[in-house]
């Protein structure tokens, strides 16, 4: 392991951190005795959730007020907890949540908090100059102004474009230290490549990029140096060629991870879900069959319709054509409650927004769907509630000290397990999953996979949408590939490779009949 103070030959130090630490309550989430970041490098940062990556970024960008220690940016001390001070020293950050103001135009967002450089007006808004500079900023990162009109309200744009706008915004500050926090997690492969290219460009111009990544291959491809954080400590400082995937994962989780053997597809089992020519808004036609006990993955690029397919089957989005049948009966939901009544459980993509009441207790959260079942003549007792909640949590091994603690105080993986427990409690026939491991750390991922396996073992049919191909290849019996809303391929696990999936997902949108397999009995 290279020592942090071994300066690469002739490189200036962009950021010097000494004794920087931060605690939330009794938990020290970041503790860095010494760390130097050098000019002209892309520095990858990996670590599990809660390892301190975001806190490190936050202390550098000023959005987190460090408890102690000193940070120097190109020789100047950085005042703690001020985004303005950090910005003035040339630190720009692209955060995961792309904080844009939806009601304002693209141009106003790109120049949020500052004036156009060409404008001499100090108080009055110079819209022409704002627009011109916004266009220039988009062109600078390789977007065409026709693709993203600068006068459009940001909220009318799709998510990947918003992420690109956020990147353009940071790029426009001409940063000497650019912090990218999982910038590609909401992007398709092409846009992701653009972002990686930008990171390299900035490094070549003598800047420093701090690249937090969750896709290890991406981090290894783009970085000159890779830092691994675990429990707030810097545990490894590696060159890309010594940082193979095994090594990184080992450092991240602090031990060896065993790769289990993928499960074989179950023997002939009854057909559970059948979609015939299903269409919905920007989706379809989709013809797909899922058997009981089978795990079928849904792959596709950003915006290909993965979530829309899941939502349409769940009844959360209206179908516009085609038919669905569930367990041999026609199924045409008018809303999610019809889906639930038909024996479907969905675990949506965004835990905070779509699944949980984060400030409420674990108990209150997990018993929501079974309230009617566990009540007697419409009345509920706290004892019954608690015992049911305990049973649900124990069933999926939620680590907690009490079912009465707020669910938001659990780690991402634990929250997700609680959500699985809640879904299982309804005894569904069909389990719909949308990005089941988003925001979950490596160790917890394996446990989520086990839960998915268990669901299939118990005879549930599972339809799982994911942007992570490795994950789908790992857990699914078959993988359906969407391309611009259309189903273009269904690959058996034996035939499925990353390359074949990507070819189908990114190809010109026509169906390749040889790639369509619909689960004939093996």
Partner 1 sequence: MTAHSTLTPELTTPPSRSTPARLVRKLAESPEAGVIIACVLVFVTIAINAPTYTSAGNLQVMGRDLAQVGILAIGESVVILTGGIDLSVGALAGLAGILAAWFNVYQGMPAPLAILVTLVICAAVGVWHGTMVTRLAVPPFVITLVTFTVAQGLALSITTGTPINGIDPFFSNLSQFYLGEVPVPALFFVGAAIIAWFVLERTYVGRQIYAVGGNKEAARLAGIPVARRVTSAYVASAVLAGVVGILVIGRMNVADPSVGPGWELSAIAAAVVGGVSLFGGEGRIVGIAAGAILLEFIANGLLALHVNTYYQTVVQGAVLGVAILLDRLRAKYFGRARK
Positions touching partner 1 (CB under 8 A) are 61, 63, 83-84, 87, 93, 95, 97, 99-104, 108-109, 112-115, 123-125, 141-144, 146-148, 153, 155-156, 158, 160-161, 164, 188, 190-191, 193-194, 197, 303, 484
- Closer residue to partner 1, CB minimum distance, 87 or 421: 87
Phi-psi region of 313 (alpha: psi -120 to 50; beta: other; left: phi over 0): alpha
* Least spacing, CB of residue 174 vs partner 1, in Å: 15
Closest to partner 1 by CB, 46 vs 106, is: 106
Compute the least distance from the CB of residue 220 to partner 1, in Å.
22
Pairwise CA distance, residues 363 & 366, whole Å? 6
CB of 298 vs partner 1, minimal distance in Å? 19
Residue with smaller CB distance to partner 1, 173 or 247: 173
Which residue has 């059948």 as its token pair?
274
Smallest distance, Å, CB 140 to partner 1?
A: 10
* Closest distance to partner 1 from the beta carbon of 239 (Å): 27
Nearer to partner 1, 93 or 423 (CB): 93
The least distance separating partner 1 from the CB of residue 155, rounded to whole angstroms, comes to 5
Cβ-Cβ contacts under 8 Å for 495 (sequence gap 6 or more)? 517
User: Which pair of structure tokens corresponds to residue 76?
Assistant: 């100047």
* Angstrom distance (rounded) from CA 421 to CA 366: 7
Question: What is the number of alpha carbons within 13 Å of residue 257 lying toward its C-beta?
Answer: 19
CB count in 10 Å sphere of residue 7: 11
Q: Which two tokens stand for residue 450?
A: 């086990």
Measured from the CB of residue 342, what is the shortest distance to partner 1 in angstroms? 28
Q: Which residue has the tokens 């004939």?
A: 520
**Beta carbons within 10 angstroms of residue 270's beta carbon:** 11
Residue 158: CB minimum distance to partner 1, A = 5
Whichever of 228 and 487 has its CB closer to partner 1, that residue is: 487
* CB closer to partner 1 out of 193 and 517: 193
Q: Please, which residue, 98 or 424, has the CB nearer to partner 1?
A: 98
Q: Coil, helix or strand for 308?
A: helix
Neighbours of 225 (CB within 10 A): 19
Q: Which residues pair with 230 in a beta bridge?
A: 233
Cis status of the peptide bond prior to 451, with omega within 30 of 0: no
Tell me how far CA of residue 235 lies from CA of 56, 251, 273, 300, 503, in angstroms: 14, 7, 47, 35, 38
Pick the closer one to partner 1 by CB: 166 or 388: 166
């Amino acid at each position: 392991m290279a020592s942090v103070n071994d300066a690469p030959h002739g490189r200036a130090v962009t950021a010097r951190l000494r004794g920087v630490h931060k605690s939330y309550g009794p938990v020290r989430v970041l503790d860095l005795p010494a760390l130097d970041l050098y000019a002209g490098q892309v520095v990858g940062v990996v670590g599990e959730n809660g390892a301190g990556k975001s806190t490190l970024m936050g202390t550098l960008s000023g959005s987190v007020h460090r408890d102690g220690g000193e940070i120097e940016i190109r020789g100047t001390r950085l005042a703690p907890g001020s985004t303005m001070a950090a910005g003035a020293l040339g630190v720009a950050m692209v955060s995961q949540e792309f904080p844009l103001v939806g009601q304002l135009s693209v141009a106003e967002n790109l120049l949020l908090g500052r004036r156009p450089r060409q404008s001499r007006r100090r108080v009055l808004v110079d819209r022409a100059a704002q627009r011109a500079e916004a266009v220039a900023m988009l062109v600078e990162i390789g977007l065409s102004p026709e693709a993203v009109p600068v006068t459009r309200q940001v909220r009318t744009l799709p998510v990947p474009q918003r992420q690109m706008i956020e990147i353009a915004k940071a790029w426009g500050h001409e940063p000497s230290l650019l912090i990218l926090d999982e910038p590609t997690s909401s992007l398709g492969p092409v846009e992701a490549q653009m972002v990686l290219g930008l990171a390299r460009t900035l490094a070549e111009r003598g800047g420093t990029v701090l690249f937090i990544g969750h896709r290890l291959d991406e981090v290894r491809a783009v970085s000159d140096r890779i830092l691994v954080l675990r429990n707030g400590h810097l545990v490894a400082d590696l060159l890309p060629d010594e940082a193979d995937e095994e090594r990184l994962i080992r450092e991240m989780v602090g031990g060896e991870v065993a790769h289990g053997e993928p499960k074989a597809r179950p023997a002939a089992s009854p057909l559970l879900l059948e979609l015939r020519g299903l269409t919905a808004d920007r989706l379809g036609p989709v013809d797909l069959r899922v058997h009981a006990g089978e795990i079928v993955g849904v792959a596709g690029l950003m915006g290909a319709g993965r979530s829309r397919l899941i939502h349409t089957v769940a009844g959360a989005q209206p179908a516009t054509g085609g038919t669905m049948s569930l367990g041999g009966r026609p199924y045409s939901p008018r809303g999610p409650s019809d889906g639930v009544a038909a024996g479907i459980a969905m675990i949506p993509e965004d835990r905070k927004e779509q699944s949980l009441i984060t400030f409420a207790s674990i108990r209150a959260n997990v018993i929501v769907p079974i309230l009617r079942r566990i009540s007697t003549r419409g009345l509920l007792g706290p004892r019954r509630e608690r015992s049911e909640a305990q049973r649900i949590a124990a069933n999926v091994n939620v680590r907690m000290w009490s079912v009465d603690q707020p669910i938001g105080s659990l780690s991402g993986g634990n929250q997700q397990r609680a959500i699985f427990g809640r879904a299982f409690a309804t005894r569904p026939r069909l389990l719909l999953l949308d990005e089941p491991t988003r925001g979950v750390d490596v160790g917890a991922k394996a446990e989520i996979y086990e839960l998915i396996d268990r669901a299939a073992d118990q005879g549930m049919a599972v339809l799982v949408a994911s942007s992570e191909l490795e994950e789908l290849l790992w857990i699914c019996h078959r993988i359906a590939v969407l391309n611009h809303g259309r189903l273009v391929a269904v690959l058996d696990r034996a035939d499925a490779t990353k390359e074949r999936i990507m070819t189908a997902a990114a190809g010109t949108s026509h169906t390749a009949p040889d790639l369509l397999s619909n689960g004939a009995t093996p």
